[in-house]
Amino acid sequence: MQASAIEGFFATLRAANPSPQTELQYASVFELLVAVVLSAQATDVSVNKATRGLFQVANTPQKILDLGLTGLESRIRTIGLFRAKARHLMQTCRILLERHGGAVPRTREALQALPGVGRKTANVILNVAFGAATIAVDTHLFRLANRTGLAPGKTPHEVEVELMQRIPPDYLTDAHHWLILHGRYVCKARAPVCWQCGVANFCDFKDKTPAP
């Protein structure tokens, strides 16, 4: 994808959705952290369903710890890998209280030191909670970046680096949301709806699917 096409690509996405937001539901930075940790290999819909009840009774690190491991597991058991995620969250809550006064840290290094928080999760927190210009490469974004020619790469990190270099600075803060939403609802894995795609003219995909 040429530089001129990238500008048009993001200008079109912005025009269609000027203020993109995550689909995870949260009311604090800590709730966002919990939701993002739970969202690994799970849909936002399933996470929101579980956290709706969880956050009513436990929306701080101490309250999560007060539930105990079994109590936390019982409230998130509808989410894949819930036992491992519950264990990670309990460990994370202890670290937040012991090292950060109960607050979610604002640096990548400190975030990635939390159990269950990898680079992608840290990027989401930095972007959504703190407004940093970061790109969290999930499966949707990885597929879209390669399929469209926006930022080809063999690994999520390669795609992230390429995106950070190629996306015009004016679009960087919101690019994460635009790309994930576009990959989730338009540039789908098995059946991209190219005939409904507003950025199809900028895309390098050769086998654009026709309207049914």
The tally of domains found in the chain comes to: 2
Q: Same structural domain for residues 14 and 42?
A: no
CATH number of residue 62's parent domain: 1.10.340.30
Is position 212 within any domain?
no
For residue range 180-202, list pLDDT tens digits in order. Answer: 999 999 999 888 999 899 999 99
Residue-wise pLDDT for 64-110, tens only, equals 999 999 999 999 999 989 999 999 999 999 999 999 999 999 999 99
Q: Are residues 144 and 187 in the same domain?
A: yes
Residues 69 and 87: beta-carbon distance below 8 Å: yes
Which domain, by its residues, includes 189? 3-20+134-202
Judged on CB neighbours under 10 Å (0-12, 13-18, 19+), 175 is: buried
Of 128, 157, 182, the residue that ends a domain is: 128
Note whether 103 and 165 are same-domain residues.
no
Domain-terminating residue out of 104, 128, 152: 128
- The catalytic residue positions are 120, 138
In this predicted structure, what is the pLDDT of residue 3? 83
Q: Domain end: 75, 104, 128, which one? A: 128
